Amino acid sequence: MRTDSSPLTIYRKDYTPPAFLVDTVELGFDLDPNRTIVANRITMQRNPAGTHTDIVLHGEEIELVQLRLNGKVLEAGEYQIDGVLLTIKDAPEHVVLEIETLCAPVENTTLSGLYVSNGNFFTQCEAEGFRRITYFPDRPDVMARYTVMLRADKAMYPVLLSNGNLVEEGDLGDGRHYAKWEDPFKKPSYLFALVAARLVCQEETYTLNSGRDVLLQVWVEDGNLDKTDYAMQSLKNSIRWDEERFGLELDLDRFMIVAVGDFNMGAMENKGLNIFNTKFVLANPRVATDIDYAGIEAVVGHEYFHNWTGNRVTCRDWFQLSLKEGLTVFRDQEFSADMIGSDSGRAVTRIDQVRTLRQAQFPEDAGPMSHPVRPDSFVEINNFYTVTVYEKGAEVVRMYQTLVGRDGFRKGMDLYFERHDGQAVTCDDFRAAMADANGRDLRQFERWYSQAGTPVVTARTRYDAVKRNFDIILSQRSNHPDQLPFHIPVAVGLLGEDGRDLPLTLDGGTHEKGATTVVLELTEHEQIFRFRNIDERPTPSILRDFSAPVILEYDYTDDELLHLFRHDSDPVNRWEAGQRLAMARLLKLTAQVASKHDKPLKLDTTFLDAQRALLIDESLDPAFRELALILPSEGIIAEQMDVVDPHAIHTARQFMRRTIGTELRAELLAQYHANQTPGEYSPDALSAGKRALKNLCLSYLLVAPDAVTQSLAQHQCEQAGNMTDRFAALVALIHSGLDASAFLQRFYDDFAGEALVIDKWFAMQAATPTTDVAAVRKLMAHPAFTLKNPNRARSLLFNFTNANPSQFHAADGSAYAFWAEHVIKLDAINPQVAARFARSMDRWRRYAPALQAKMKAALEQVAAQTKLSNDVLEVITKALA
Ligand code: PHE
Ligand code: ZN
């Protein structure tokens, strides 16, 4: 174990305002992959709110050539460098700093700062990458105006881009050229970007609602121009949507999206120059699935919406990350839902959000990396771009809207911009705007930002037939004993015997007369809510639309759940009833498998009949039916168990899938045929829903294939006119146990030049239950595999550890050793990617003792390394703590 240099923890409570504020930044780049020269001229002045008079700059992995203050070269001794900090003591009131540094982009494998991808230059500065480009007060509360001069070889890098407007360009002789960019808006350093590359673009002039014309561009490598239409369309939809829903207009004359193949995350909202992982730009029917299309729409929207929520109003410090991320995820969720339009379509997007929370956020919040939406401390900020900050943060924002209504939410947003445009602010400032605009007391709501963990809400009910009262008693608890009660909106409806919603009269309620859903506000440990004039014992539908990110406990009987599954007008709770029915059975079967009794496993006909009825109910959206028929994932089942037995879970779930596949064979086949989408491919929600249902049917049919179903899958694999269908058929085949090697090979050969499709090829094999660690090692030896490209590493390694639990948890521990080996290997290349991979082990304490011991040994093996990054060190230390 290491005892030396434990990394520094940074605390929110230690925040102090910057001593100096920056007015302008002029950057000059002489771009060269091996030796780029960066000249940086900063004008700054003392911050009246500062607590000292030292200039503090950050710098990392850059070589300082010269430093001048107000024209005078500073000698060693006139400034101090300590780690990443450069300090100039007792600086004058007004300062011009001129800083010259060197860096080597081609050697930068971290993909943070200035780096080279496929021969082109890109930058990534969030969170703390700008300091890898030049010395600067690299903190988000320092906002400045930037001018950027780029110089580079013209033949190699014909395109030179940066934030804002192009103000000048020309030749320099000697084969080099230049471009000068000016960003009219002040911004924090993390929003700086440049691109110097050989790229081509699709461009369009777009007219805003106000009548102003803007230039939109999507930049990609030559050969990919046939894959930019959907990103461009999504961008235009985003611009329109933000105007209409929030009255927010694009503030620039030019907006650019650039795709890059090597990228740590999904995309980045740099002012006017969004840089995207190719995965969230490139699509055509041949190479992209419906899920890819939906991802592009969401991420293009997300980055565009950041222009107001993140860029115009930014974060005071990184503890406030959810101020921009939670809010912007909520906005992109609403955008995607509005793009579908229909209520049932909205519900499908909502169900997807609930699944993500349960699959990823609840476990995170119950594990070693649990943190509040607004963390109190961190070692490495890169480790806090989490599902908690993003997805739970979006739930917190959604709850404001649930509490104050859509119009009230809009008023709160308007006030937020009125107060804070051009500022770097906090989550408290956002909450204050929501409260003040609506005249509401939202003080207790603050606990959603400060208290970690998933609250458990328990409901009890009682019916008084004489008085015709129905009471719902709600209580809340958390697994942190010292926590105070949350302010929880619980949307409730009551179903009558005929399945219809009862009109509600809540004692003390302020809802409209005749409302069928009301929002109960649970603010205490326990509260009683009384409904009047209820003529029959109703079935309660609690937490409609998943109105709060909590775990709801209620002792539903099977009959009540079946009633909700058949009739609930709230699609989220209708789906939820099905999940509860399935989960009860999955847990029982898992226990039976684990107990190793020889009794054959059985699945009751009540459940099968309910599934059948839903499958063939053509009054329901295919997309909804698909979601309602997917069983809870192995990961979600694991979260319900005290001691996780991944093999028993897998066996039980497979048994259930096989039983559904065989018992419902006729209906599955019929729906398979009924939901074909002939004609030209379109990614719209209805067509995508049909494909999803059809392909789910196929996957059930292929759990126990016969000659008919086998040939259906093979035929679809060969004849599919789009990637969604081809991919689904191939996955069904490789999961069926049939020999699918020829189809896999054919897939590879057909798409050898399409990196994103080759990622899919690795990913689907990694997640196949028959792929053991030896098979993964073999795939790693494939010439197309590399650890250096994050998408490729994720497709094989992350999918194996996260989506193939029965192999990752192989009894001999061989996959844990594999994990340790590759955390270490990845860390030497890219700490951010390594730290994410490291988190596959987060839940190790929940497994049976024999597995736990092996997991612990693997964690300790990583911890024993002497050269770990802070990123990985933080994750491993917390896991072992
Ligand atoms: N801010 C980006 C987003 O949410 C995510 C990101 C973080 C990208 C850090 C790169 C690095 O859109
Ligand atoms: Zn974001």
What pLDDT band is residue 7 in, cutting at 50, 70 and 90? confident
Q: What distance in Å separates the CA atoms of residue 237 and residue 300, rounded to the nearest whole number? A: 10
Nearest residue (CA) to ligand 1, atom 9? 126
| Angle formed at CA 521 by CA 517 and CA 524, multiple of 5 degrees | 150
Q: What is the pLDDT of residues 300-314, one digit of tens each?
A: 999 999 999 999 999
Residue 598, by phi and psi: left (phi above 0), alpha (psi -120 to 50) or beta? alpha
Q: Which ligand is nearest to the CA of 188?
A: 1
Instruction: Over range 577-598, report the average pLDDT.
Output: 96
Of 268, 322, 328, 391, the one to substitute when testing ligand 1's pocket (max ligand atoms within 8 A of C-beta) is: 268
pLDDT digits 0-9 by tens, 438-466: 999 999 999 999 999 999 999 999 999 99
Q: Is the pLDDT of residue 2 over 50?
A: no
Kindly provide the b/e burial profile for residues 594-613, where b requires at least 16 CB atoms within 10 angstroms of the residue's own CB.
beeeeeeeebeeebeebbbe
Ligand 2 midpoint to CA 355 (Å)? 20
Q: Is 303 a catalytic residue?
A: yes
- What pLDDT score does 5 carry? 55
What is the model's pLDDT at position 513? 85
CA–CA separation, 338 vs 241, rounded Å?
Answer: 9
Average pLDDT over residues 155-162: 99
Looking at the CA of residue 390, tell me the nearest atom of ligand 1: 4
Note the pLDDT of residue 813. 98
How far, in Å, CA of 260 to CA of 269, rounded? 14
What's the average model confidence in pLDDT over 570-580? 98
Q: Look at residue 597 in the predicted model and tell me its pLDDT.
A: 82
- Of 746, 740, 789, give the one whose Cα is nearest residue 765: 740
Region 741-770 average pLDDT = 98
The share of the chain scoring above pLDDT 90, in percent, equals: 98
Q: What is the mean pLDDT of residues 847-875?
A: 98
Query: Measured in angstroms, how far is the CA atom of residue 306 from the centroid of ligand 2?
Result: 7
Question: Whose CA is closest to atom 12 on ligand 1?
Answer: 268
Residue 321 falls in which region: left (phi positive, over 0), alpha (psi -120 to 50) or beta: alpha
What is the average pLDDT across 541-563? 98
Mean pLDDT of 546-568: 98
Which atom in ligand 1 lies closest to the alpha carbon of residue 302?
A: 12
* Catalytic residue chosen out of the listed positions 98, 100, 221, 303: 303
Scored b (16 or more CB within 10 A) or e, 78-110 reads ebeeeeeebebeebeeebebbbbbebbbbebbb
How much distance in Å is there from the Cα of 451 to the middle of ligand 1? 24
Measured from the Cα of 329, ligand 1's closest atom is: 4
Please check the confidence at residue 767 and state whether its pLDDT lies above 60: yes
Ligand 1 atom at shortest distance from the alpha carbon of 263: 10
Which residue among 123, 265, 333, 387 is best mutated to probe the pocket of ligand 1, counting the most ligand atoms within 8 A of its Cβ?
A: 265
Q: Is-cis flag, bond preceding 127, omega within 30?
A: yes
Q: What is the mean pLDDT of the chain?
A: 97
Q: 327: CA distance to ligand 2 center in Å?
A: 9
Q: How far is the CA of 304 from the centre of ligand 2 (A)?
A: 9
The environment of the single-atom ion ligand 2, i.e. residues with CB closer than 5 A, is 325, 328
- Span 221-246, pLDDT tens digits: 999 999 999 999 999 999 999 999 99
CB atoms within 10 A of CB 696: 23
Query: Confidence band (pLDDT; 50, 70, 90) for 529?
Result: very high
The tokens describing 54, both together, are 């030292």
**Above 70 in pLDDT, residue 574?**
yes
Q: Is 0.95 topped by the overall pTM?
A: yes
Q: How confident is the model at residue 4 (pLDDT cuts 50, 70, 90)?
A: very low
State how far the Cα of 636 lies from the Cα of 686, in Å rounded to an integer.
Answer: 28
Other Cβ atoms within 10 Å of 291 Cβ, number: 15
pLDDT for res 1? 37
N-term to C-term CA, the chain: 13
Q: Is the pLDDT of residue 53 over 50?
A: yes
How do residues 62-84 score in pLDDT, each as one tens digit? 999 999 999 999 999 999 999 99
pLDDT at 653: 98
Ligand 1 residue neighbourhood (C-beta within 6 Å): 124, 126-127, 264-265, 267-269, 302-303, 325, 385
3-class secondary structure, 854? helix
- Could you report the predicted ipTM of this complex, rounded to two decimals? 0.99
Mean of pLDDT values over 619-623: 98
